[in-house]
Amino acid sequence: MPDLGHDEALMLALLNTAPVIDGVRRDELADTEGAQAWLAAQGWPAAGNPARTLREARDALKSVILGAASPASLDPFLTDVRVAPAMTDEGLKWTLDETSDKSVAVHAILAWNTLNTTSPGRLRPCSNPDCELFLIDRSKANNARWCSMAVCGNRMKARRHYQRSRQA
């Protein structure tokens, strides 16, 4: 498990649990079975972390990233959370009390905070208006626009090509 605040992959996966496929939004966290399958796919114990808390944390994080809510709106997810310091050969590490049924939400929010502090603007929504996924831009030029070049990048290129050929 990565050091607390560095679960970027988990955070991004959580943000992207409600993809729009062929115009229809699917929610991988819609019910307990879905949430447990998603947790297992992330390598997380399926116990705890109820679907509702995961959905609420995801939607709250999305609102903050999209500028519709302030970071302080994430605070309720962090109440009663306990972390403990541990000295390791790699330096000081903070670990979360994993008995919390909010542990995935907490890991995701702390990862968002770390990323937002160290790499502001790198986490953003996909530029395809029909897509509701997010991406973390790790390119040097910081100009990545698509959640996936294979899906949204090619789709938007094809759309622009089609529009140009219609106008011609």
| Interacting residue ranges for Zn ion, rule: CB under 5 A | 126, 128, 131, 133, 147, 152
- Specify whether the CB–CB gap between 66 and 131 falls below 8 A: no
Which residue(s) pair with 96 in the sheet?
A: 83
How many whole angstroms separate alpha carbon 165 and alpha carbon 64? 39
Place of tokens 């679960």: 7
Distance of CA 56 to the CA centre of its chain: 12
Kindly report the backbone phi and psi dihedral angles of residue 86, in degrees, each rounded to the nearest multiple of 5, phi listed first: -140, 135
